[in-house]
Amino acid sequence: MSYDFSSLKKRGEEIKDWFKQEAASLRTGRANPALVENILIDTYGAKTPLKHVASISAEDARTLRISPWDASSIKSIEVAISASNLGAQPIADGQSVRVSLPELTDERRKILAKSLSAKLEESKISLRQERDKIWKDIQEKEKDGEISEDDKFRFKDEMQKIVDGISDKLEETAKTKEKEIIG
């Protein structure tokens, strides 16, 4: 007899993907399109992620160039980037917007590291909630006589190995990003 852990694995992948995306959006001193691609822009009366209305490229280590497909959205892009917590001033130059990222201060690095830790904890909480849901289901199946007590504990061990593997990947991603932030 075996237990279907596919929902736990699927949810684990979603949590890892979310954390990677969140970590990528934290500024490390290098210009990276991921810093701005999910900033919501007011276009055509709706909030749309920047990556859906413009191409974003790194001009050099500290400059991003945002080229909207519709030049009329340049002002909206400027406003949204100014309102974000990037600490950078966008400059429109006709057909595109240039974003020069200032050098990171030690204080800003500490704030970013703290934010990374908070996002990691958020991911781990989601993972624990998913684990608890599966564990509750396993206990219900044992209570209903669908599985034996031995199976229950074997499934619990299997489940914990999956959770530990996902958690290790989250930690790995966080450590890598922290090295980038601290410099």
Confidence tier at 21 by pLDDT (50, 70, 90): confident
Tell me which fold the domain 30-100 belongs to.
Answer: Gyrase A; domain 2 (3.30.1360)
Quick one: pLDDT at residue 7?
A: 93
Handedness of CA 118, 119, 124, 129 (dihedral sign): positive
Q: Please spell the DSSP secondary structure of the chain, one letter per residue.
A: -----HHHHHHHHHHHHHHHHHHHTS--SS--GGGTTT-EEEETTEEEEGGGTEEEEEEETTEEEEEESSGGGHHHHHHHHHHSTT--EEEE-SS-EEEEPPPPPHHHHHHHHHHHHHHHHHHHHHHHHHHHHHHHHHHHHHHTTSS-HHHHHHHHHHHHHHHHHHHHHHHHHHHHHHHHHH-
Whether 160 has a pLDDT exceeding 70, the answer reads: yes
6-23+105-182: CATH class: mainly alpha
- Alpha carbon 139 to its chain's center: 32
Confidence tier at 79 by pLDDT (50, 70, 90): confident
Mean pLDDT of 93-110: 84
Confidence tier at 27 by pLDDT (50, 70, 90): low
**What's this model's pTM, rounded to 2 decimal places?**
0.69
Domain residue ranges of the chain, discontinuous segments joined by +: 6-23+105-182, 30-100
Mean model confidence pLDDT for the chain = 88
Whether 31 has a pLDDT exceeding 80, the answer reads: no
Mean pLDDT of 79-98: 84
